[in-house]
Chain A
C-alpha cells in the first residue's frame, strides 16, 4: 500500500514535468474562438479564471496554417536559431574535443591548474562576462552579428569539462599498446580517443544543443537588429492577443529540442552522470 502511494507520487511528479508539452499541443489545435473564450479572464479581465481542457473542442490546423502563411519573420528567426546553434556546436567540437583530450591524457606542467581554471570559467554566469564580451566584440567589430554570438560561445569550457570525464575513463592499457605499435599522438587521438570517447562528445553536444537553442541573454544584449534574433526572443514579442500564433510557434520551437532530447536521451543521462563521478 505504502509502495503504491509512493509510486503514485512519482507518477504525479512526472505528470507535472511533462504537462507543458500537452498544454502547448492542445492550445495549438484550438480555433481562435475557443482560445478567445478560454483566455478571456487574462486577456480582457472579464472575471473568472482561465479554464483549460485536455482536448480542444474543435481541433483545427488553422493556427499552423496562419503561422506558415502570415508570419515570415518566424521563419527568419527559426533559421537564425538553427544557424547560431549549429555554429556554436561545430566550433565547440573543433576546439573543445582536442582540448579535452589534451587535458585528460597528458601530464604536461600546469595541467591541473589549467583544468581548475576551466572549471572556474565554466561557473561564471553571463553577467560576469557581459562587459568583457562586449569590449572584445566591439574591438573586433562583431557586435550586431551572428559571429559575435557564436565566437565567444565556441570557447565555453563546459563541453571540455564533460568530454574530459569521458576521455579520462579510457583505460591506459589500450593507449599504451597502440603507442608500442608505433602509433603517434595524433593517431592515438584519431583512432582510439575519438571512437572510444564518442559517447562523451555526443553527450556534450546534446547538453549544449539544449543550452544554445534556448539562448536569451547574449542575443538580447549584443543583437540590436531584430532580424538577427533567434526564436527564443520571438515568442515574448507575440503577446497573448495572438494566442494562436503564440501556441503554434511555441510548439515549433519545442519540437527540435524534444527531438534531440528523445534521440540523445541515453547520452544526455551519461553526460550528466559523468560529471558526478569523483576523480
Chain B
C-alpha cells in the first residue's frame, strides 16, 4: 500500500515537474527577443569598451581612463548624482505627505488623486510651451516675482535651471508616487491606530510609530520606481533647452547624444558599461537592504 502511494506521489510530482517546464515555452518568445536585442548586443558593447576603435586591438582600461578624465563626463555624472540625491528624497517625502493627507479626505480624495495623476498624461512636448513662457527672462514666473520686488532671473540659462528641472520632475511624478504610497497605506489595519489612540497616542505619534514602520516595505519599490522615472527628465531638459543646455542640467543623455553624433564608439561603450554597473549595484544594494527588513 505504502509503496503504491509513494509511487503515485512520485508520478504526480514528475508529472508536475514536466508541466512546470511549459512555463518556459510561454516565456520563450520574450526571452529570445531579450537575448537577441538586449543581452548579446550589450556583451558586444562590453567587448568594445575594452578595445581600440581603429585597430580593434585589446586596449585594457584605456577607454575607461579616457571617460573618467573627460570633463563633460564628470560634469554629467555629477549632475545626475546631484539630481538623484536632491529629487528622490524630496519626491518621496512630498508624495508621502500628500498621500497621508489625501487618505483622510473622504469626499474629494479620489477626485484630487486623479488631478495629481494628470501630469503623467500630459505629453512632454505639450508642456514645453508653458515651460518656455513660464521660465523665460520676461516670463510669467518673473512677472509674479516682480510683484514682490524680486529681480528677474533667466531661469533656464543660470544655475536656476537645475531647480526648474527638479520642479518638473516632482510635478510629473507626484501623482504616481501618491498612488504607490496610498497602496501601502491601505495595507495598514485600522485596528492598530485605534489601539494606539485608546492608549492616548496623538496623531504625530501614530504617524511616526505606526505609519512609517509599516510603510518601510513599500519604500524600496517606490524608491526604485522613482529612480527609474528620474531618467526621463532628460526629455523636459532636452525639449526646453536643446542639445547644449546650461551646464547645471547637462545630463548623461545629453553627453551620450553628443558622443553618438561624433560616433565615439569607444567612449559610448565604456560609458554605457559604467552606467549599467552603477545602476545594477544600486538596485541590488537597495534590494538587499529591503530583504533585511
- On A, residues with C-beta under 8 Å from B are 6-7, 9-11, 13-21, 23-24, 27, 39, 41-42, 45-52, 94-96, 98-99, 101-103, 105-108, 111, 114, 117-136, 151-152, 154-155, 157, 160, 185, 189, 210, 213-214, 216-217, 220-221, 231-236, 240, 246-247, 250-251, 253-254, 257-258, 260-261, 265, 268-269, 272-273, 275-278
**A10 and B239 contact, CB distance less than 8 A:** no
Of A6, A11, A98, which one neighbours B29 at CB under 8 angstroms? A98
State which of B3-11, B61-69, B230-238 sits at the interface with chain A.
B230-238
- On B, residues with C-beta under 8 Å from A are 19-31, 33-34, 36-38, 41-42, 44-45, 48, 98, 101-102, 105, 108, 112-130, 132-133, 136-140, 142-143, 146, 152, 171, 174-176, 179-184, 217-218, 221-222, 224-225, 227-228, 231, 234-235, 238-239, 242, 252-253, 255-257, 260, 265, 268-269, 271-272, 275-276, 279-280, 283
A47, B218: Cα distance in complex, Å: 50
**B31 and A14 contact, CB distance less than 8 A:** no
The A interface is mostly helix, strand or loop, or mixed, namely helix
A213, B123: Cα distance in complex, Å: 7
**A155 and B30 contact, CB distance less than 8 A:** yes
Given contacts A10-B105, A103-B27, A276-B183, contact A50 B272 (CB under 8 A): no
**B138 and A132 contact, CB distance less than 8 A:** no
Of B27, B101, B123, which one neighbours A253 at CB under 8 angstroms? B123
**A99 and B26 contact, CB distance less than 8 A:** yes
**B126 and A95 contact, CB distance less than 8 A:** no
**B121 and A258 contact, CB distance less than 8 A:** yes
Of A213, A214, A247, A253, which one neighbours B235 at CB under 8 angstroms? A214
**B179 and A272 contact, CB distance less than 8 A:** yes
Q: What are the residues of chain B within 8 A of A233 when measuring CB–CB?
A: 125
